[in-house]
Amino acid sequence: MAKITTAQLLKMKQKGEKITALTAYDASFAKLFADAGVEVILIGDSLGMVLQGHSDTLPVTTAEIAYHTRCVRAGAPLAFVIADMPFMSYATVEQAMHNATPLMQAGANMVKLEGGDFLLPTIKALTERGIPVCGHLGLTPQSVHVFGGFKVQGRDEQAANLMVQQAIALQDAGAQLLVVECIPSALAERISKALVIPVIGIGAGKDTDGQILVMHDLLGISSGYIPKFSKNFLQETGEIKQAIGKYIQDVKQGQFPGPEHSF
């Protein structure tokens, strides 16, 4: 596999070719995913829940994300690697620049930030200084206590219109990728069509430019519960490599997510 770049991801969107993405936190799984053909690997702050056993993502630190980013990069030297910026690590522009630096030095191609309009100066400052940014709208897990739980966002017309405006604003500020999480399928499609940059969905229907899942959900090994928007591909295939292959195939062919995984 050739090295994946933002230019290649943009070409995939333009050609209508679906982008596949998974979270990974170590070299072994990162290599497995990259070798199978997954284009994008995210070191998600989801590690706070699936690796550390917390009830949310808030306790995760920048140093922990940097450590796991180094592990993932070692296993997948050609993949496009995105590192989550943890809770309150980008509350100001200065904080964002300070905390994004070790993530890029650890091997990330891009950092991901959750939120809308308040991030515009931060995204502009980061990209001007050579740090590519992925935005994240919809259910933003770092705001779980504001939302009152993990709830679908953008259900009413006013909220949907605001999210489209925010997505365009993030793109205009310099974001080169956008993740939308737990939003109605019709809204996700609308955002994907409104933006030039690729839009990756999770719990956002099949009409985004790509899909991402937490690897533990895909393999059915998450503690607690498997979200509605996920699917246990290991149960279906019985073997990890086959499960990853089936996930890639189903995303590329537009068969995953199905209506049962969407809102």
Q: What does the pLDDT look like over 87-144, one tens digit per residue?
A: 999 999 999 999 999 999 999 999 999 999 999 999 999 999 999 999 999 988 777 6
* Residue 250 marked in a binding site: no
* Residue 84 marked in a binding site: yes
The whole-number pLDDT of residue 153 equals 83
The whole-number pLDDT of residue 149 equals 58
CATH superfamily of 6-261: Phosphoenolpyruvate-binding domains (3.20.20.60)
Nearest alpha carbon to residue 162 among 132, 194, 209, 208: 194
In angstroms, the Cα distances linking 55 to 31, 49, 82 are 28, 6, 23
pTM, two decimal places: 0.95
With a CB cutoff of 8 Å and minimum separation 6, the contacts of 10 are: 176, 196, 197, 198
- pLDDT category, 150, cuts 50, 70, 90? low
Greater pLDDT, 230 or 198 = 198
Altogether, the residues listed in the chain come to a count of: 263
- pLDDT tens-digit map of 211-240: 999 999 999 997 666 788 889 999 999 999
* Distance separating alpha carbons of residues 150 and 158, to the nearest angstrom: 20
The whole-number pLDDT of residue 224 equals 65
User: What are the domain boundaries of the chain?
Assistant: 6-261
User: Is the pLDDT assigned to residue 148 strictly greater than 60?
Assistant: no
Lowest mean pLDDT among 1-10, 31-40, 71-80, 139-148: 139-148
Report the catalytic residues.
181
* Residue 143 marked in a binding site: no
* Residue 114 marked in a binding site: yes
* Distance separating alpha carbons of residues 122 and 141, to the nearest angstrom: 19
User: Is the pLDDT assigned to residue 56 strictly greater than 90?
Assistant: no
Whether residue 14 contacts residue 204, with contact meaning beta carbons closer than 8 Å, is answered with no
Mean pLDDT taken over the chain: 94
The whole-number pLDDT of residue 158 equals 93
* Distance separating alpha carbons of residues 228 and 262, to the nearest angstrom: 8
The pair of structure tokens assigned to 1 is 């596999």
Nearest alpha carbon to residue 101 among 89, 87, 117: 89
Percent of the chain with pLDDT over 70: 95
- Other Cβ atoms less than 10 A from the Cβ of 255: the count is 11
- pLDDT category, 173, cuts 50, 70, 90? very high
177-201: average pLDDT:
97
N- to C-terminal Cα separation, the chain? 34
Integer Rg of the chain from CA? 17
For the chain, give percent helix, strand, coil, nearest 5: 45, 15, 40
The whole-number pLDDT of residue 204 equals 96
- pLDDT tens-digit map of 66-102: 999 999 999 999 999 999 999 999 999 999 999 999 9
* Residue 56 marked in a binding site: no
User: Is the pLDDT assigned to residue 147 strictly greater than 60?
Assistant: no
With H, G, I as helix, E, B as strand and everything else as coil, classify residue 242.
helix
